[in-house]
A = this chain, B = another copy of it.
């Protein structure tokens, strides 16, 4: 029932599918207009898709001149995707349908043993979540796992992931595939967050953007020319080692990263400690700053200056149109305001800087985006080049079809 339709119709089938996915309930005649294919061909392809269980009749149009049209829509529960955001402390797992809607979601503390136990934990969460939502196991087609590191899809290992034990030495990809029983894609978590904001968040319709996740560490995801940039070792955006903030030639900078020392959690705490002698957590520093503590305000000011410098560095190199701040610290309005204030003082061209609107769920949304687009590729053929992400619209559901 849910077999991939035949291959030779690759392109047309894909574009028909896209029209149905994005056009909500839509008639075959409208699909023909949208895609430029003939009515006859559309009827054939839609029949194939309907036979395959991917698409179904929804009703008829009415109220306009001419014959009423039968409308079709996506069968959202024809297949499901597992989206995972694996963080150093928390694991989020979601099962989403073909419309990108989250069907069920689950969160748990990360199994700190890392390695296989962690893979088992996540696979267990995913499979039991699916069961709980009454999603048949053979409808799960693909999992996308966001990891805090640089996955190498050749070896299946995850490098630069100091927070997850053993992931740099084992074949994580294969372990997930075996534990889950279907295909798995690994991707850097910040990259996924960037894709998430680009799909359903602040970055909609923007081809060049940077997502900066600032928290315990600092990382960024770059979408340039509409494509996610990964770099040679999947380490693009690992900006902790920017030679900014601290002296980059200090051996400590070489270990932790000069920029990470300056802006991430540890840097803020240290900054407050050097002026006051008190070692307190970041949320408390923000509280005290709000209450008027001068040292706390100074620490936040200086951090924001450094954040502005980091954004300047990204802009100087990658020239995004928009920079989205995320992560536990990056999402704080105090940081956003000040970074916006300092940026024009160290970078001459205007750049939009905003907070991510998806918050901590950005990576999960991004994982869904990757999953959907990959699934469409394997099921319905490749998209025409530079068509961007062809995913369901994010807004209101099922608007009555506007004829033309």
> How many copies of this chain does the complex contain?
2
> A348 and B235: CB pair below 8 A?
no
> B225 and A317: CB pair below 8 A?
no
> A249 and B319: CB pair below 8 A?
no
Q: What is the minimal beta-carbon distance from A220 to any residue of chain B, in angstroms?
A: 7
What 1/0 flags go to A246-258 for Cβ under 8 Å of B? 0011000111001
> B316 and A239: CB pair below 8 A?
yes
> A318 and B231: CB pair below 8 A?
yes
Which of the residues B236, B239, B312, B317 comes within 8 Å of A236, measured between beta carbons? B317
Q: What is the minimal beta-carbon distance from A259 to any residue of chain B, in angstroms?
A: 7
Known: A254-B346, A254-B347, A318-B318. 6 other contacts (CB 8 A): A208-B232, A227-B227, A241-B348, A242-B313, A243-B313, A248-B347
Interface residues of A in 70-91 (CB under 8 A from B): none
Which of the residues B224, B234, B236, B385 comes within 8 Å of A231, measured between beta carbons? B224
Q: Which residue of B lies closest to A236 (CB)?
A: B319
Which of the residues B224, B239, B253, B348 comes within 8 Å of A229, measured between beta carbons? B224
A309 within 8 A of B: yes
> B319 and A349: CB pair below 8 A?
no
What are 6 A-B pairs with beta-carbon distances under 8 A?
A207-B232, A208-B231, A231-B320, A239-B317, A255-B348, A314-B317
A113 and B207 CA atoms in complex are apart in Å by 36
A231 and B243 CA atoms in complex are apart in Å by 22
A175 within 8 A of B: no
Interface residues of A in 210-266 (CB under 8 A from B): 220, 222, 224-225, 227, 229-244, 248-249, 253-255, 258-259
A169 within 8 A of B: no
> B317 and A237: CB pair below 8 A?
yes
A345 within 8 A of B: yes
A382 and B349 CA atoms in complex are apart in Å by 36
Residues of B with C-beta under 8 A to A248: 309, 312, 346-347
Interface residues of A in 326-368 (CB under 8 A from B): 342, 345-349
